[in-house]
Structure 1
Amino acid sequence: MMTPYGDDTATINLVIVDAAMRGRGLGRKMLEEALAEAGERICYLVSTQEDLPLYEKVGFAATGETVQHQGEPLLVEAPGHVTWSESGDHAHLVTLDRAAYGHDRSAVIEILRERAKFAVIRDAGEIQAFAAIRSFGRGLVIGPVMARNDSEARALIDFLLVHHQGGFVRIDTDVSTNLAGWLTRRGLYRAGGGITMRRSGAARKEGKPADHRSYALVSQALG
């Protein structure tokens, strides 16, 4: 499965081969077909340790590490400057996601609009950070989380945890965010993860440094 984001980026979401058919090169052939369909797009994925050699053979390189935290959150105080989003906020969320992620994921945010609840931080009436929470697996998943700094990201997450006490919550984040220890103290313990990888496409002009960054993934499959 491959998901294109606009004309410059894509994610490789799933490469699945039945256990009885493994070792015959089918995974690589399917992956090559997906990459051909992606064309000149930059491609991202999250790999397990055992699948690294396959992805490296087709041009992917490790760029970081994603960690999964999950559990029943401990009691925390609700931050006073975080609120739920309003019906007219969607376009602002799309713009903010693009600024933080660096690519157009408007189709993904549109799908989340129907399936998730969004918490936001406003500054002078303008949305400056947001986080989403939705049903997933045995409970709930938080993500994406887009913010200008660690303090905003933590406030958004705390707000969502306060409003979903007693539930099972998962969040996937990059180790570079330094949220791991903080999430553990919130009762969300490390339960797995993977290696983030990138395969470069055609050379593209670099934009200016982003004022926002991504603190949590939509999912390991979607980035």
Structure 2
Amino acid sequence: MTIRRLTQHDLDDCARLAKDRGWLPERHKWRLLFEVGEPYGIDAPDGDGLAATNILTRYGDDHAVISMVLTASRFARQGLARRLMEHVLEQAGTRTVSLYATDHGRPLYERLGFRVVGRAAKHTGVFAGEPSGTTRPATEADLDEILELDAELFGTDRSAVLRRMSGFGEQVRIADGGFGHCWRNDDNTVIGPVVARDEETARALIGDLALHAGGEVRMDFDLAMDGMVRWAAGHGIGDPWPVSKMVRGGDLPGDRSCQFPPFMQALG
């Protein structure tokens, strides 16, 4: 079975594959990943859609993220996920590569040279709180400042992704020393990315974005940030679903203490 580069015409089959594995279709998310990343797949030998997928997203010359590692249930345990992983790792070259792994997927990644560097968890709920009064909606004029701050604190170039925030998401907010964004997924509004020089600024941005979104929101936190996890729980955000943060090659870039909810797990 041949590995090929996927196109926008494959989005419906990606959504079908996600549903086959118990995921939501998340077409809005897939579409963004197709725009900023390199989607690869293997066609199902029975002619019915895709047998397997994954996506490589490059950040500059030093880092890349792998996501959407999916195999159709009827083709499980035939080595397709490994073939695709080996292919995208070759495409990544000398870059440090990271991903989020479920307990089910972790053994494969370990065999490919990934190591666990932390744990993170999805937290969901309806945010209860008051506006901070310290953040405001971002404008186009703020983009250069956002990109400069992110390059410093995230530690590598993801400007191509961040430039899409205003068109992809619900709102971008800025504060003194931080910025944040939220976007609508199939069943909730995701808060992320949030980058800030301190937890107080991050909390203000997250809270104001959640209040703007209304309804159920999702925030993914590094579980080492126990203060943020407790703060979120105190404002109605809980029900954690943990995964492992894994890296192959060098270390993760940037200052991890300033990186709060990611854009999405699929973008590191």
Q: Same fold (TM over 0.5)?
A: yes
In structure 1, what is the Cα distance between the partners aligned to 2:104 and 2:241? Answer: 14
Q: Deviations 1:22-50 (Å, cap 9, x if unpaired)?
A: 11211111100010011111100000012
2:156 to 103, 120, 125: 103
Alpha-carbon offset, residue 187 of structure 1: 0.9
In structure 2, what is the Cα distance between the partners aligned to 1:152 and 1:91? Answer: 19
- 2:260 aligned residue: 215
**What are structure 2's unaligned runs of at least 5 residues?**
1-54
In structure 1, what is the Cα distance between the partners aligned to 2:198 and 2:240? Answer: 25
In structure 2, what is the Cα distance between the partners aligned to 1:60 and 1:118? Answer: 33
- 2:117 aligned residue: 63
**3-state SS of the aligned residue for 2:241?**
strand
2:194 to 131, 136, 145: 145
Alpha-carbon offset, residue 137 of structure 1: 1.8
**3-state SS of the aligned residue for 1:217?**
coil
- 1:22 aligned residue: 76
Amino acid at match of 1:198: V
- 1:45 aligned residue: 99
4+ long deviations beyond 6 Å: none
Matched, 1:186 2:253: no
1:197 to 222, 246, 260: 246
CA contact (8 A) 2:127 2:207 kept: no
Alpha-carbon offset, residue 212 of structure 1: 6.8
Tell me the TM-score normalized by structure 1.
Answer: 0.89
Structure with greater contact order relative to length (CA < 8 Å, sep ≥ 6) = 1
**3-state SS of the aligned residue for 2:189?**
strand
Alpha-carbon offset, residue 87 of structure 1: 2.1
Q: Deviations 1:162-191 (Å, cap 9, x if unpaired)?
A: 3233x1111112112221111111111133
Alpha-carbon offset, residue 70 of structure 1: 0.7
Alpha-carbon offset, residue 10 of structure 1: 0.4
Structure 1 residues 199 and 92: CA distance shift in structure 2, 3 A: same
**What are structure 1's unaligned runs of at least 5 residues?**
123-127
Percent of aligned positions with the same letter in both sequences? Answer: 32
Q: How does 1:149-188 map to 2 (within 5 A)?
A: 149-165=198-214, 167-178=215-226, 179-188=228-237
Amino acid at match of 1:110: R
Amino acid at match of 2:161: V
In structure 2, what is the Cα distance between the partners aligned to 1:210 and 1:32? Answer: 29
Structure 1 residues 211 and 39: CA distance shift in structure 2, 3 A: closer
Alpha-carbon offset, residue 7 of structure 1: 1.3
Alpha-carbon offset, residue 192 of structure 1: 1.0
Tell me the TM-score normalized by structure 2.
Answer: 0.74
Q: Deviations 1:107-129 (Å, cap 9, x if unpaired)?
A: 1101213122111112xxxxx20
**3-state SS of the aligned residue for 1:13?**
strand
In structure 2, what is the Cα distance between the partners aligned to 1:41 and 1:160? Answer: 33
Amino acid at match of 1:199: R
**3-state SS of the aligned residue for 2:260?**
strand
Structure 1 residues 212 and 21: CA distance shift in structure 2, 3 A: closer
In structure 1, what is the Cα distance between the partners aligned to 2:147 and 2:225? Answer: 22
Structure 1 residues 19 and 211: CA distance shift in structure 2, 3 A: closer
Q: What is the number of residues matched between the two proteins? A: 212
CA contact (8 A) 1:2 1:14 kept: no
